[in-house]
Amino acid sequence: MNRVERHACFGGRQEVWKHPSAALGCEMRFGVYLPPAAVAGERCPVLYWLAGLTCNEQTFITKAGAQEHAARHGLILVAPDTSPRGAGVPNVDSYDLGEGAGFYVNATQAPWSQHYRMQDYVAQELPALVEQQFPCTEARGIFGHSMGGHGALITALRNPGRYRSVSAFAPVVAPSQVPWGSKAFAAYLGEDREAWKEWDAVELIASAGERLPLLVDQGDSDEFLSKQLRPELLEQACAAAGHSLTLRRHPGYDHSYYFIASFIGDHLAHHAASLR
């Protein structure tokens, strides 16, 4: 790995690293915030952030305002890119498919299957690199926004025992039932809708092998609320399965990072309670 950025931040360091990814077959970048405790050599828990459509590793580290809270709680924050990129990586002229829109699944369909294996990357390859390079404990949490909220939920649900905490901002909870997910899943996974259920949080809740409490924040002025996000479907699934869910609806808040920055402190406190 090679470090490409380093900035002093709240007594710690915000860094950006690049590395060749075996899972994705391209070079990838990720942001990592090291709190003062980690800079001093103390082993700290790691909290992974998965960003939404069109984002990259820069979006969260420059817009969310999370570093101050991570410094206080002693959490390492890791924010990867949202998809493979570069020459030879398939792409289309669309914001919701291809580069910037990996949906955190392992694609099975050509031409996507060679590179678009984001689940392998975020759940396996990236944590292995981070835990080798930085002073980490074995405690991991995961959270995200929109497409990344979907990614955080399914990654925790598909990997019982791997994470101690999970949360999401405005997640796509039922991608099999909404336009964003249907478009991406048809391309990446094919037309068999039964195969889609393995990547759908609402479908996975019913058979979850672990019941981590879920924290979800949603703005009621979010322009994607009724068509793409459908939080009521997650609410219904959790109620039916007896799965703990705290769904907070916030009047006046939209889908932007202004919303995320407003409640990011609550999410880091939620994760710190389990990770520390």
Please give the positions annotated as active site: 146, 222, 255
144 in Cβ contact with 169 (< 8 Å): yes
For 163, list phi and psi in degrees, rounded to 5. -120, 150
Token output for 56: 């990259």
67 in Cβ contact with 9 (< 8 Å): yes
Token output for 115: 């590179």
Burial class (CB in 10 A: 0-12, 13-18, 19+), 92: exposed
Cis bond upstream, residue 111 (ω within 30): yes
Token output for 13: 């360091």
256 Cβ contact list (under 8 Å, min separation 6): none
3-state secondary structure of 200: coil
- What sign does the dihedral 90-198-79-251 (CA atoms) show? positive
109 in Cβ contact with 189 (< 8 Å): yes
Partner residues linked to 44 by β-bridges:
136
Picking from 39, 66, 35, the residue whose alpha carbon sits closest to that of residue 276 is 35
Q: CA 11, CA 14: separation in Å to the nearest integer?
A: 10
